[in-house]
Structure 1
């Protein structure tokens, strides 16, 4: 009997293909944003990632990384939300920002016992640090009073902070797991690191992160394979180059794209333009816009209403006929600054710029003009942060103004220039030739230490060296303004002498960000130095 012919295809392959075609197709499940989070992602915009565990951790760290990876994978498959992170706060964070307890949103906070001990040591005295320590202690006491027990964690939103949905945990037992490196246990920082190590071992399914303002503390945590981050909630800007300049260069095709349906009119010698276009949404009130070319434009944003903005041409203070106490603007930004300083509708002005850009000179000239000529203000009040560049020279004898006199060298230099310059100008009014004593009688030098509770009425207030002030100090000074008072803040964020402030956390950076766009405030960053060619070269080369 002849054998049957061989099949052209293997039977197994034919069966599998047939079975696969018969099965219904499955859609791949979508992963949510929460389920795709991995360990090591930044917790929130309040905190900057500093370090991650080292590539070769110890055995406990390896187990923790393995278990955490399993939990993350399980969350991706089930779609469950990742467990909130646990932030261990260093004492310096609480002393820096007393409200930091409520700045971590849905995440939990852990306070080691040594942190409470350090808070107790700092609570005595009249310094700002002592005040913050007492404020933190009161907040902790109020939280404990509202909670039944501290062993199950204290809900942070019980005092009305709705954004803080996490829990506060206190150290209630010994946490003494050995560190991978032997460190002295008598130091508070090392005890906090031990607590972080123990929590990391005890809670393998939760990311434990140390938050500290101390750079060396974060470096030690990095060496130990622990997560450590800086507290950046007080930072207005992450990059000093992103500070609001107060002026915008218009593109070459500005009129082409914004002249359609444009309206223009002249009122009291000022030309107004009502425009529509794509750039309107980026304009802010009192921001300066300029276009240089065959038909230059120097204007200020007076109104922004949806897709429509109103621009008004500014006064030209570069012309001698518009001089302010004999001083004329030497560049574009100085012209912008004088428009802000001489505008009666602007109550708050901030001027930033490197040394020699004319911040103090322009401000003092504008103040003298409005005090002695137009009589808009009664006096000029000047204050500044008394932070020495080098070693402190100790206590100074005399009254309040005598003690402040060594800090007012810039005031004396500019007054001398204005007085000498006024005498040389023959076309000036007789008021400008007043004696130096009469001019100085309208200038009051005050110390910041005695500003609490004061109210200034019809005063021209100058806050010099404002880059050395904290946001809280800036608030204290600005809220002293009464009816008819104008406040001008001067500073250079490149010359911060306070060791605990940076460009992003300085008080003047804070107020520039918070006041931009307000109808009665203005800001400009002076770019070009006008002191001397030596000072300009030193600013660029050194």
Structure 2
């Protein structure tokens, strides 16, 4: 097979940083990178949303000694307004005559045709996945098990905990909640495990991570006979989009209400299925108000300086915490604390964070393998309802 010369556009490198190795195919083909593409990557590295992907693309270029980067001499003489036109002119002047432009930009494909430059699409997209997405809580058959992970054996999940391998062939029921999927059942297995102090859950919207965490917390605080956990804390980062929290009327709970209304609704749903009277000031009231002695909602900013003991802590939407905020929060945990960290690294609302640089991902990256920590990607076939299922299935 004849050797090919591929010139890569910026979008190809961003969609799949591994495209360099894939297209080079060992030593078979030659990869060229226009200097203008490097300039585009240099600008994009400051974008908090895709900066982590840019760094992967740059690392892929640096690690491959066979990549030919066009020298800057010709590129810096160009004064075209559009980067695409600069790339095309670089190809015309710097690339071999048989060079093929690889781009998924349809307009650039048309422009390349005008210049007589052969063009191909790169279809093998490899979206960035954070550590909390890649490590699902399962290890493959034959792979060395990690602390508190699962492994499939003959269709049965085997839990590798401190007491050795254990088949999870039973179903939990916690505070009247029956798991809708095997993954929800395994999440409850981790939440209720006495050897696990800290657990994180990654999942898309609608797979029940907050509902399960609340059910487990109610069980541990209100039902379990040893009564070692006396209180539930719900901690949530507040990413303010509309009215600033400081200007909202009322106490902390009232200020937080717009941000945790869905939590209140889930608690009422659990309370309706099985009374949780002690978490409310007056369970018979029409407007249920939380009892701060049993259930307290705190914004992250109020946690600094606290010492939390004998409690179950739920950290919701942890992907909106920074690494330093995560460290500050988790170091507030004292004796006899069980903590559930929930979130989805694909739904980062904090403008200063991204899929890689956020509290949930840092937690998985740094704590994976510790004996009292567990992580799981929650998935399944059922979620909030048919509309959510349809959206998730269609990958809208």
Structure 2 match to 1:297 = 156
Structure 2 match to 1:323 = 173
Is 1:530 aligned to residue 383 of structure 2?
yes
- 8 Å Cα contact 2:234-2:313 kept in structure 1: yes
Return 5+ residue gaps in structure 2 as ranges. Answer: 1-19, 21-32, 52-75, 80-126, 284-289
Summarize the alignment of residues 49-128 of structure 1 with structure 2, pairs less than 5 Å apart.
53-54=35-36
Structure 2 match to 1:239 = 129
* Distance in 2 between residues matched to 1:507 and 1:499, nearest whole Å: 14
* Distance in 1 between residues matched to 2:357 and 2:169, nearest whole Å: 34
Structure 1 match to 2:368 = 516
Summarize the alignment of residues 146-165 of structure 1 with structure 2, pairs less than 5 Å apart.
none
Please give the secondary structure, in 2, of the residue aligned with 1:350.
Answer: strand
CA offset at residue 524 of structure 1?
Answer: 0.8
* Distance in 2 between residues matched to 1:332 and 1:316, nearest whole Å: 10
1:231-288 deviation line (CA, Å, top 9, x unaligned): xxxxxx95338621002464xxxxxxxxxxxxxxxxxxxxxxxxxxxx25x2101001
* Distance in 1 between residues matched to 2:205 and 2:128, nearest whole Å: 23
1:433 and 1:239, CA in 2 relative to 1: closer, same or farther beyond 3 A?
closer
1:517 and 1:382, CA in 2 relative to 1: closer, same or farther beyond 3 A?
same
1:83-117 deviation line (CA, Å, top 9, x unaligned): xxxx9xx9999xx9xxxxxxxxxxxxxxxxxxxxx
Structure 2 match to 1:372 = 222
1:54 and 1:362, CA in 2 relative to 1: closer, same or farther beyond 3 A?
closer
Is 1:477 aligned to residue 329 of structure 2?
yes
Structure 1 match to 2:256 = 404
Q: TM-score, normalised by structure 1?
A: 0.47
1:539 equivalent among 381, 386, 392: 392
Residues matched between the structures, number: 285
CA offset at residue 393 of structure 1?
Answer: 5.7
1:248 and 1:54, CA in 2 relative to 1: closer, same or farther beyond 3 A?
closer
Please give the secondary structure, in 2, of the residue aligned with 1:480.
Answer: coil
2:166 equivalent among 308, 312, 316: 312
* Distance in 2 between residues matched to 1:466 and 1:434, nearest whole Å: 27
* Distance in 1 between residues matched to 2:279 and 2:337, nearest whole Å: 25
1:459 and 1:434, CA in 2 relative to 1: closer, same or farther beyond 3 A?
closer
1:419 equivalent among 263, 271, 280: 271
1:517 and 1:466, CA in 2 relative to 1: closer, same or farther beyond 3 A?
same
Structure 2 match to 1:25 = none
Structure 2 match to 1:215 = none
* Distance in 2 between residues matched to 1:435 and 1:246, nearest whole Å: 32
CA offset at residue 405 of structure 1?
Answer: 1.9
Please give the secondary structure, in 2, of the residue aligned with 1:284.
Answer: coil
1:351 and 1:398, CA in 2 relative to 1: closer, same or farther beyond 3 A?
same
- 8 Å Cα contact 1:456-1:481 kept in structure 2: yes
1:383 and 1:536, CA in 2 relative to 1: closer, same or farther beyond 3 A?
same
- 8 Å Cα contact 1:469-1:507 kept in structure 2: yes
CA offset at residue 455 of structure 1?
Answer: 1.0
1:401 and 1:434, CA in 2 relative to 1: closer, same or farther beyond 3 A?
closer
Structure 1 match to 2:99 = none
1:433 and 1:54, CA in 2 relative to 1: closer, same or farther beyond 3 A?
closer
Please give the secondary structure, in 1, of the residue aligned with 2:376.
Answer: strand
- 8 Å Cα contact 2:279-2:295 kept in structure 1: no
* Distance in 2 between residues matched to 1:393 and 1:450, nearest whole Å: 16
1:470 and 1:249, CA in 2 relative to 1: closer, same or farther beyond 3 A?
same
- 8 Å Cα contact 1:244-1:513 kept in structure 2: no
1:415-466 deviation line (CA, Å, top 9, x unaligned): 111011126xxxxxxxx56684368321101121122222101111111011
CA offset at residue 180 of structure 1?
Answer: 5.2
1:244 and 1:311, CA in 2 relative to 1: closer, same or farther beyond 3 A?
same
Structure 2 match to 1:286 = 148
1:291 and 1:433, CA in 2 relative to 1: closer, same or farther beyond 3 A?
farther
Please give the secondary structure, in 2, of the residue aligned with 1:462.
Answer: strand
CA offset at residue 302 of structure 1?
Answer: 2.5
* Distance in 1 between residues matched to 2:169 and 2:337, nearest whole Å: 23
* Distance in 1 between residues matched to 2:278 and 2:254, nearest whole Å: 24
Please give the secondary structure, in 2, of the residue aligned with 1:366.
Answer: helix
Structure 2 match to 1:444 = 296
Return 5+ residue gaps in structure 1 as ranges. Answer: 1-48, 58-86, 97-178, 183-236, 251-278, 304-308, 424-431
CA offset at residue 335 of structure 1?
Answer: 0.9
- 8 Å Cα contact 2:311-2:336 kept in structure 1: yes
